[in-house]
Amino acid sequence: MHPLAYEELPVPAGVEPFRPEEHPGLTVWFTGLSSAGKTTIATEVRRRLLRLRMRTEVLDGDSLRKHLSSDLGFSKQDRDTNIRRIGFVANLLSRNGVIVLVAAISPYQEVREEVRSKIGRFAEVYVNAPLQVCERRDVKGLYKKARRGELRHFTGIDDPYEPAPDLECQTHLESVSECADKVMRLILSSRMQK
């Protein structure tokens, strides 16, 4: 055995005690149709949080599907499983003081409520633009595919979306910067309340 117990080692430089009550993390969950602007706003909020030197991560639905849910499709059950997985990761991060920005269509209110109740410190932001606007943007060309019948269960086309927001951003009326302002106020005021 090593003769030196770890308790006798000097406290490493830069190690500073973690007191969860002083580092309240938060999950901000951006929901809404494809091309509504969820990732765009989340990315801008992240940029601003980093400027304030706050811990933050964007969990983007598309990227998370690739990393955690490559096996899942778009049935209600698979969508719910995907949301639960994202919620599980968001919970791990936010209870360690990270401001987690989830950008995922997450159309079903029930599973969002389930995730909210598990995480606790949770705010839902409805990124809202009319279907016609989202379809005109069609950033990933998915609406075209859905209209041609090549994609089924497409939210807004042949699958429902159920809003229940704490905050709403209307991306056809408000700029990215205005939306990010609103979200920043939400985040900073939630941290002041703890």
Secondary structure (3-state) at 80: helix
CA distance 52 to 48: 7
CA distance 105 to 79: 9
CA distance 90 to 88: 6
* Minimum CB distance to its own copies, residue 31 (Å): 21
Q: Does 35 participate in catalysis according to the annotation?
A: no
Residues numbered 17-76 forming contacts with its own copies, rule: CB under 8 A: 17-19, 21-24, 48, 52-55, 57, 67-68, 70-72
Unique residue bearing structure tokens 């985040």: 187
Backbone angles phi, psi at 131, to 5 degrees: -50, -45
Which residue in the set 84, 137, 145, 153 belongs to the binding site for its own copies (CB under 8 A)?
84
Secondary structure (3-state) at 173: coil
CB 69 within 8 A of CB 85: yes
User: What single DSSP character describes residue 178?
Assistant: H
Residues numbered 146-175 forming contacts with its own copies, rule: CB under 8 A: 174
Does 88 interact with its own copies (rule: CB under 8 A)?
yes
63, 70, 106, 189: the active-site residue? 106
- CB nearer to its own copies: pick between 139 and 177: 177
- CB nearer to its own copies: pick between 23 and 145: 23
Does 117 interact with its own copies (rule: CB under 8 A)?
no
Task: Report how far apart the first and last C-alpha atoms of the chain are (Å, whole number).
Answer: 45
Active site residues: 106
Site residues, its own copies (CB under 8 A): 1-2, 4-6, 9-19, 21-24, 48, 52-55, 57, 67-68, 70-72, 81, 84-85, 88-89, 92-93, 96-98, 174, 178, 181-182, 184-185, 188-189, 191-192, 194
